[in-house]
Structure 1
Amino acid sequence: MNQFKNLILENPTIYSILQFVLMVAVVLLVIQLLRRFLRKNIQDTTARYKSQKTIEFIGYVLLVILSFSYVTGNIKDLTLAIGLFSAGIAFTLQELILSIAGSVYIYVVNVYKPGDRIEINGIKGDVIDVDSMYTTMMEIGQWVSSDNYSGRIVKLSNAFVFKGPIYNYSQDFPFIWDEFNLPIKYGSDIELAKSLVIDIASKALSEYTVNSRAKWKEVVNKYYIEDAQVEPTLAISLTDNWILFNLRYIVDYKKRRFTKNELQDSIRKAFEATKGKVLFASTTIELVKIPDLKVDINK
């Protein structure tokens, strides 16, 4: 035993190799212990997986530094090794770093907040939570029509605030413009139809018009943007089959579907009350001429 100990102490190479092997074993043991600790104490599957991978990466980079130090035989190049280690960490955790930076950006710049309706990375929904890593949204649309909830809760990395446009339906100006078309039959009382549509829209949307006008003034004062008309407007175009009414109006961003339904139902009832003076149109086919048919009975 003493001879073996003396052999190790007298031979620097063997001593150095054993020292290196011991350090590697310690690092590998610490990696495994940390992975077990994280596996037992982190409930979220994604967070658990990413944390374990991060620990593995840090451990392996540390092994590379130790190997580099062992091969060179000194620590004077340790600064370079630390630089490479830092670069590796930054590359591996770039999504994590971007997510944290994104959360700071969201709060500082006030990009959006819980309660806002946004569209980001092709996903539309209401923000229900913003933490240091993720934005949680109640999804809207997909297989359901209009602005209805799909029922899915979406977690989106905060890093996406740096990767594309963010559409905010509620910040600064919590109203949106909406429109729909009405096909009116040729021969109807067009002036009566126009007055009915504008009167119904003006009465039904009066509250939105007043509130949006005040909000729009704030937007004009804050941003470089021209003034806009918030009252309901009606545009008319002539087609082959009907006279097309296009009603454009402003509405609360959360009540678009409900408001459109109320407007269309009220207009339908008003047109029916005209006793045929105003009629909705449908696709029509006009036969200009029927070719003559010559029938010879004798033949």
Structure 2
Amino acid sequence: MIEELSNWFSTHISSDIISYLGWMFLIFLLIFGLRKLVKKRFSNNQLKYKSQKAIEIIGYFIIILITISFFSGSIEDFGLTIGLLTAGIAITLQEVILSIAGFFYIFLFKVYKPGDRIEINGIKGDVIDIDSVCTTMMEIGAWVTSDNYSGRIVKLSNAFVFKGPVYNYSRDFPFVWDEFNLPIRYGSDLELAKAIVIAVAQENLSDYVNNSILEWKNVVNKYYIEDAQVESTLAITMTDNWIQFNLRYIVDYKKRRHTKHGLNEEIGKRFLATNGKVILASATFEIVKIPAVHDNADQTTHAKG
């Protein structure tokens, strides 16, 4: 093997390497030029994105073919070249190979696409780009609450699709269930309180419910899953301090914060308009008076005195 390698280097070390580098430069220049041309010519963002990715993949494929052809030289050397390249690449570029495999896995099996909201490797955000090695996300959460952007752009290796679960908020069913609790003071008019909460939910969530019914039917037809109730539900629990109302509802995955704010604001206004019939509760504490303890020795002293 060493003899074959030395013979190969002695015959290819000069002009062929220069020729190979020239081809590589030309192909990279062509990829860059075509991507730039597509970016200028196409106005549709989705078509523009897919065309640029197609040019990139085809360019990489041509580079691989030229590299194999250059290093093999002839049919006799092809097996040796492939073996050496495979061994070297497998050892030194394990993570890169896994990332490239992840790239094809993401697109072939539609794990996620640009525009989807996902959570992967503990990071949640909107996918803004997928290249052959990395997935780029606009981060959500971190030091900000709810589903707001933090302002950080995160790059993750595509290899993570093989290393853990990928949570997709938007594929197949672009809705999520959300809920919040309302503490109602004991003595309030519970029937009036229930009527207010249900009315506000129906007025604000009817569009989400109607749109999600058809989407959920498609999910049931596609996957082995039971049917679910998409209409809003209200559950009541008796606690030590108050009667707890739990409102569970379905909402667009991008409008959780806005919807919850609107529901709380409207319910609060209508509770205030009941003139004390329905009152929101707060934590209460009952202070028990501790009886005084008299020391027998003190009593005896006082008696003697």
TM-score by length of 1: 0.72
Separation in structure 2 between the aligned mates of residue 79 and residue 141 of structure 1, nearest angstrom? 51
Instruction: Identify if the C-alpha distance between structure 1 residues 85 and 131 changes in structure 2 by more than 3 Å, giving closer, same or farther.
Output: closer
Question: CA offset at residue 89 of structure 1?
Answer: 1.6
Change (3 A) 1:290 1:274: farther
1:10-40 per-residue CA deviation (whole Å, 9 max, x = no partner) reads xxxxxx9xx89x96xx69xx8xxx8xx99xx
Structure 2 letter corresponding to 1:83: G
Secondary structure, aligned partner of 1:251: strand
The alpha-carbon deviation at position 208 of structure 1 amounts to 0.2
Q: Counterpart of 2:124 in 1: which secondary structure?
A: strand
Q: 1-side partners of 2:175 and 2:214: how far apart?
A: 11
Q: Which runs of 4+ in 1 moved over 2 A?
A: 78-86, 287-294
Kindly provide the CA deviation profile for residues 203-247 of structure 1, in whole angstroms up to 9, marking residues without a partner as x: 100000000111101111111111111111111111111111111
- Distance in 2, matches of 1:229 and 1:244, equals 22
Return the offset for 1:177: 0.3
Q: What SS class does the counterpart of residue 259 from structure 1 fall into?
A: helix
SS at match of 1:245: strand
Alignment correspondent of 1:159: 159
1:161 is displaced (CA, Å) by: 1.2
Aligned to 2:263, the other structure's residue is in SS state: helix
Deviations 1:95-115 (A, max 9, x none): 221222111111111111111
Q: How does 1:92-241 map to 2 (within 5 A)?
A: 92-241=92-241
Shift of residue 139, structure 1, vs aligned partner = 0.7
- Give the 3-state SS of the residue equivalent to 1:178 in structure 2: strand
Compute the displacement of 1:83 (Å): 3.4
* 1:244 aligned partner, one-letter code: Q
Query: Which residue of structure 2 aligns with residue 68 of structure 1?
Result: none
Residue 287 of structure 1, CA deviation: 3.3
**CA distance 1:291–1:138, change in 2 (3 Å):** same
Could you tell me how far apart the structure 1 residues matched to 2:79 and 2:130 are? 38
- The whole-number CA distance in structure 1 between the counterparts of 2:218 and 2:79 is 55
Greater C-alpha radius of gyration: 1
CA positional deviation for 1:280: 0.7
Structure 1 residue 156, shift from structure 2 partner: 1.3
Partner secondary structure for residue 187 of structure 2: coil
Deviates more, 1:248-257 or 1:183-192: 183-192
CA distance 1:171–1:79, shift in 2 (3 Å): closer
Q: Percent identity?
A: 68
- The equivalent residue for 2:284 is 284
Gap regions ≥5 residues in structure 1: 1-15, 43-61, 63-75
In the comparison of the two structures, how many residue pairs are matched? 244
Q: Distance between the aligned counterparts of 2:227 and 2:82, measured in 1? A: 57
Query: What is the alpha-carbon distance in structure 2 between the residues aligned to residue 218 and residue 79 of structure 1?
Result: 50
Q: Which amino acid aligns with 1:118?
A: I
Going from structure 1 to structure 2, the CA distance change for 1:231 and 1:293 (only over 3 Å counts) comes to: same
Distance 2:274 2:292 in 1: 41
2-structure distance, mates of 1:201, 1:87: 62
- CA distance in 2: counterparts of 1:292 and 1:271, whole angstroms: 44
Match of 2:275 in 1: 275
Q: Secondary structure at the match of 1:205?
A: helix
Alignment match, 1:4:
none
Shift of 1:86: 2.4
Question: What is the TM-score when the length of structure 2 is the normalising length?
Answer: 0.70
CA distance in 2, matches of 1:83, 1:212: 54
1:207, 1:116 → 2: CA distance?
21
- Matched residue SS, 1:89: helix
Distance of 1:167 and 1:146 partners within structure 2: 17
> Match of 1:152, SS?
strand
- The alignment yields a C-alpha RMSD, in angstroms, of 3.4
